[in-house]
Amino acid sequence: MVTKPRLYSGMQPSADSLQIGNYIGALMQWRDLQQTYDAFFSVVDLHALTQPNDPAELRAKTRRTAAQYIAAGIEPSRSTLYVQSHVRAHAELAWILSTLTGFGEAGRMTQFKDKSQRYGAEATSVGLFTYPVLMAADILLYQTDIVPVGDDQKQHVELTRTLAERFNARYGETFHVPMPVIQQDTARIYDLQNPTSKMSKSAESDAGVLWLLDDPKVSAKKIMRAVTDSEGSVRYDRENKPGVSNLLVIYAALTGRQIPAIEDEYAGRGYGDFKKGLAEVVVAEFGPVRERALELLDDPAELDRVLATNAARADAVADRTLADVYDKMGLLRRV
149 binds ligand TYM (CB under 6 A): yes
To ligand TYM, the closest distance from the beta carbon of 330 in angstroms equals 27
Contact with ligand TYM (CB under 6 A): which of 6, 7, 8, 15? 8
Cβ-based nearer residue to ligand TYM, 148 or 266? 148
Cα(331)–Cα(202) distance, rounded to whole angstroms? Answer: 40
Contact string (CB under 6 A) for ligand TYM, positions 158-197, x = contact: -----------------------------xxx--------
- The answer to whether 115 is a known catalytic residue is yes
User: Alpha-carbon dihedral of residues 114, 118, 123, 126, nearest 10 degrees?
Assistant: 0
Q: Is the dihedral of CA 42, 165, 6, 1 positive or negative?
A: negative
To ligand TYM, the closest distance from the beta carbon of 82 in angstroms equals 12
To ligand TYM, the closest distance from the beta carbon of 101 in angstroms equals 15
Cβ-based nearer residue to ligand TYM, 68 or 266? 68
247 binds ligand TYM (CB under 6 A): no
Q: How many C-alpha atoms does 175 have within 13 Å on its Cβ side?
A: 30
**Helix/strand/coil for 189:** coil
Residues 211/219, Cβ–Cβ less than 8 Å: yes
Cβ-based nearer residue to ligand TYM, 47 or 266? 47
- What is the distance of C-alpha 103 from the center of its chain? 25
Q: Which among 61, 201, 222, 275 is annotated as catalytic?
A: 201
- The answer to whether 217 is a known catalytic residue is no
* Burial class of 315 by CB neighbour count within 10 A (0 to 12, 13 to 18, 19+): middle
- The answer to whether 198 is a known catalytic residue is yes
Contact with ligand TYM (CB under 6 A): which of 15, 133, 199, 213? 199
Contact with ligand TYM (CB under 6 A): which of 31, 59, 166, 198? 198
Residue 8, number of CB atoms within 10 A of its CB: 27
Residues in contact with ligand TYM by the rule CB under 6 A = 8-12, 21-22, 25-26, 44, 47, 135, 138-139, 147, 149-150, 152-153, 187-189, 198-200
- Please give the positions annotated as active site: 115, 198, 201
